[in-house]
Chains A and B, each alone.
With several copies, the nearest count.
Chain A
Amino acid sequence: MTETLPQRTPDKETLARMFELVTAINLTDERFRTLLSSGRARSTYYSPKGQECISAAFGALLRPDDYCVTMYRGLHDHLAKGVPMRELFAEFLGRVTGTCKGKGGPMHVTHPASGLMVTTGIVGSGLPIANGLAWAAKLSGTDQVTIVNFGDGASNIGAFHEALNLASVWELPVVFVCQNNRYGEHTRYEWATSASQVAQRAAAYEMPGVTVDGNDPVATYWAADEAISRARSGGGPTLVEAMTYRFWGHIFGDNMRYMPPEERKAAMDADPTVRYRNWLLEHGHLSEAELASIENDTLAAIDDAIAFALDSPPPGPDELYTDVYSETVVPA
């Protein structure tokens, strides 16, 4: 898709699948922000808008039994890994029908049936856990791959380092996916990070590291494909850095004053969903009718899921005390 670089084009099915995922993320985000500003629902919300192509590319490649670990800014990863919208949105809204009965919330979505194993709110802490999942798969002799998503800011925390080293010495089937959106909360990448690119840190672990345009689903697809294939075939871990941008700042309600307006405008003008749609159309991969059909179906599914979530009750008071231990209920 990056016009200057000649590259292979995935098959139509894959292109369509990625468009479905990009669309699902893009439209869900739109709906969510409207829902929250209208006051019809309350949620802690870290918009992933701008980063949708990364999840879509990985989502098109991963199997349901592959493991995914992600973080508070995780809606795009959840959707791309196949977490069902109804349960997912219900979890965001704290309803008993949610993936975690409303007890985890957006920062802690878990859905083992679709391979979404952990969502953490602690920067960088998913990486060591991803190693464990990968180790389990390796010990069991399956060819399951584990991917773990994290931000550029997370590349400066201790857990990142410990995890990449261990993954390398143990040759684990894991893909470390750094979604570099140029900010950690309100702090610019350069202020916090001594490496020009996060991917260059892979060399410290003698692990392949690659930087890719994360707003280009096709480029990201091939980088993801290489990393996933390497992990699946016993070739060990890879660090993939996908360059991207957050359209809506850190958290819903962010004043975004620390983001230069020109920078943000440039990113939004190059909306990756729009670019991808245009490219698919221009190059004849999908017709306007096909694209519109995907969009309509997606929107219908989202609206259904939001209605489901809004109609669902909160967890009952007893839920406060369950799931603390494997025994059913603990005394208060």
Chain B
Amino acid sequence: MTDEVKVAKMTTAQAIHDALDLALAKDPKVLLFGEDVSDPSGGGVFHISEGLSTKYGEHRVRSTPISEQAIVGAAIGAAIGGYRPIAEIMFMDFFAVAMDQISNHAAKLRYMSGGQTGVPITIRTAAGAGMQFGAQHSEMLEAWVTHIPGLKVVVASNPADCKGLLTAAIFDDDPVVVIEPTLDYWVSGPVPEGEHVVPIGKASTARPGSDVTLITYGREVKFALEAAETLAGEGISVEVLDLRTLVPMDERAVLESVARTRRAVVVHQAVRRGGLGAEISALIHENLFGELEGPVVRVAGPNTPIPYAAELESLFVVDSADMVKGVRKAVQQTR
């Protein structure tokens, strides 16, 4: 950020609103639709799009029936027809009803057409546990979408990146899944005013360090920073790498950092088995095996559905204490 850029304090919800507002203003081809998004239906279930249909018209900011296949399908068609639609799928668990449009169509139409029909859509979705919404409204399912060639996937850890990554997603020529940690909607932070783009594919060093690299994304970055602070007190210097983009992943940044620290911990809320942490772990071992002090440590959700009771849910969710343990384990390992 240069000095000229004004910064305002905003919640993540406001930052997203801002990104949507600016994108709709900039390009008449940008559309926003999904359940409840227009003003007569409250401007979105989290009130994120409040005011936008009044400002840009209900033909551009439009509430839909509860029909996720129809929503994603319409986004795909409109994209092929020349638009840049942003489709909102209220919770990521509901990807399950629209996976065919997402995987078999949005992701593959460019390839199957030999490059003729790109699908520049953005799919925004709220995800993550911690609200006692139970097993069907709390999942992080990035592992499903990162395994689908043709999709890009981003997850921001703070309001500014939320704005910047969403803006990049909207103007990207490929389908981008934007995962928004639900609980973060009410978290605030400094956000650059005016157009703000965080390029897709670039990780960010949330905290520099030298003993171990903690690689994570989304809501877990905050807790990783807390963990790093705690560990600094124990004399352990943790570098926190915020991936920001999951596909295409900034492998260079990951490998450069781990090559320096020689130790890595990968953290995510999603369940451990087959989570994205496995991919990152494999990647690091494949590239840096001889330089590591020990194996990459994974800190992730247990292999269970997400329970309702607050006490169990908070056990399910990876927190900074879990990360502290993971880092200590990584540090104890020496060749």
Contact = CB atoms under 8 A, between A and B. Distances in A.
Interface of A: 42-44, 67, 69, 94-96, 98-108, 110-112, 117-118, 120-125, 127-137, 139-140, 146, 153-154, 156-159, 162-163, 165-166, 169-170, 184-188, 191-193, 255, 257-258, 314-315, 317, 319-326, 330-332
Contacts of A106: 134, 308
Q: Interface residues of B toward A: which range?
A: 35 or more
B69 A159 contact: yes
B136 A163 contact: no
A321 B111 CA distance: 9
Rank and list the top 6 A-B pairs by shortest CB-CB distance, nearest first.
Answer: A132-B77, A128-B73, A136-B81, A105-B308, A94-B309, A100-B114
B116 A100 contact: yes
14 contacts: A42-B132, A94-B310, A103-B113, A110-B114, A120-B104, A122-B136, A123-B66, A128-B73, A128-B77, A132-B73, A132-B80, A186-B36, A186-B41, A326-B172
Contacts of A319: 307, 309, 312
Contact of A326 (B72, B110, B133, B305): B110
A121 B115 CA distance: 18
Contact of B110 (A94, A96, A323): A323
A188 B40 contact: yes
B78 A108 contact: no
Contacts of B312: 94, 102-103, 314-315, 317, 319-320
A57 B219 CA distance: 46
A314 B40 contact: no
B65 A162 contact: yes
Given A103-B111, A132-B79, 12 more contacts: A108-B112, A125-B73, A128-B70, A128-B73, A140-B82, A159-B97, A162-B69, A162-B73, A166-B67, A185-B36, A185-B45, A320-B316
Contact of B77 (A111, A123, A131, A257): A131
A255 B46 CA distance: 11
Contacts of A317: 311-312, 315
Contacts of B136: 107-108, 120-122
A128 B150 contact: no
A117 B72 CA distance: 16
Contacts of A170: 62
B302 interface: yes
Given A112-B116, A326-B110, A326-B173, A193 B134 contact: no
B137 A324 contact: no
B137 A121 contact: yes
Contact of A118 (B31, B109, B302, B311): B109
